[in-house]
Amino acid sequence: MGISIRIHIHLILWTIWSSWVALGATASKFECFQSRPDICAPILNITLYEHNHVTPGYLFITPYDMTTCNDGPYVYNHIGELVWYGAVGKEFVHNLYPCHIAGKDKLCMLKMRHGEGITSSGPVILFDLGLYTPDGERDFTEINVGMEPDMHELRIVNNGTAIITTWLATRSWDLTSVGGPPNGYLRTAGFQEIDVQTQTVTFMWDPVDHIEIEASQMELGRKWGDGIRPETDWDYFHINSVDKTRNGDYLISSRHTSTIYMISGQNGTVVETRRIQIRFHI
């Protein structure tokens, strides 16, 4: 990854196996630490390891809905040993990865809200990689401006600009062209760009303004909404990822139109499209 992660571990952790772990079929699936009883971490089951071909570095995972271990952000080394956990407690996070802001290495993540399903999230958290201030406080910045992030993507580009996929709105929409009601409801999810240092939104993109609903391959009435009521708004587009190109345009993918789009960074219009073959049947 070409990045050196300086993670300071303030405690020497030592492992104990809880007795019931050793008994059951789940043996060796997670480990707990006597020096940090709040930590019970999954053990990575490495089934293929070719030493000479593995680039040294760190693995960033954010498991959730776990029954035996804690949800949260975990960092492992390249041989699968736990290096870091716990700075945000047993939180449900997504998109953990090292990022650069104003020349500093940070750990970025999206912190999700509990109890509202996986489509809703809270602030973006950016940890300084020192993790703690000299006073022992956790050292982090939050982004709280803009629209509510969704779980799919957080990218930091240009030394301090966050691009985040975003749930925008439930909008009233005529859905007759796709077999729905004339006064139906559409769910739209696009993306926004936020300058982290000034906490300002610099770009907001809503697919409804640019992509017709007939492009959707997700028919009405199934898991993704029948469009009849606001609570069952139709998720016609479902953005899955966003990145920014060197010349300032955005590359995005849509799950429900099975398409990759290049979006103009100047005016939000679709500059290029590429249909992809993958179809989702969930």
Contact footprint for ligand NAG (CB under 6 A): 28-29, 45, 47, 102-103, 159, 264, 266-267, 269, 271
Which run of H or E residues covers position 32? strand 30-33
Q: How far is the C-alpha of 239 from the C-alpha of 255, rounded, in Å?
A: 6
Beta bridge pairs of residue 273: 261
Tokens 């993306």 identify what position?
Answer: 191
Token representation of residue 260: 């990759």
Provide the minimum distance between the beta carbon of 114 and ligand NAG in the complex, in angstroms, as a whole number.
28
CA 205, CA 166: separation in Å to the nearest integer? 9
Is 52 or 267 the residue whose CB approaches ligand NAG more closely?
267
**DSSP output for 114-136:** TTS-TT-EEEEEEEEEEEE-TTS
Cβ at position 249, least distance to ligand NAG in Å: 6
Cβ proximity to ligand NAG: between 144 and 269 the closer is 269
47 vs 277 by CB, closer to ligand NAG:
47
Task: Give the residue with the Cβ less far from ligand NAG, 54 or 118.
Answer: 54
Query: How near is the Cβ of 262 to ligand NAG at its closest, in Å?
Result: 9
Q: Which two tokens stand for residue 167?
A: 């749930």
Cβ-based nearer residue to ligand NAG, 226 or 249: 249
Q: In the complex, what is the shortest distance from the CB of residue 197 to ligand NAG, in angstroms, rounded to a whole number?
A: 8
Cβ of residue 7: shortest distance to ligand NAG, in angstroms?
Answer: 22
Q: What is the DSSP letter of 81?
A: -
- C-alpha closest to that of 163 among 140, 143, 141, 139: 143
Q: Which is nearer to ligand NAG, 34 or 269 (CB)?
A: 269
We find the least distance from the C-beta atom of residue 116 to ligand NAG, in angstroms, to be 32
CB 227 within 8 A of CB 185: yes
Q: Which residues contact 90 (CB under 8 A, 6 or more apart)?
A: 38, 70, 71, 72
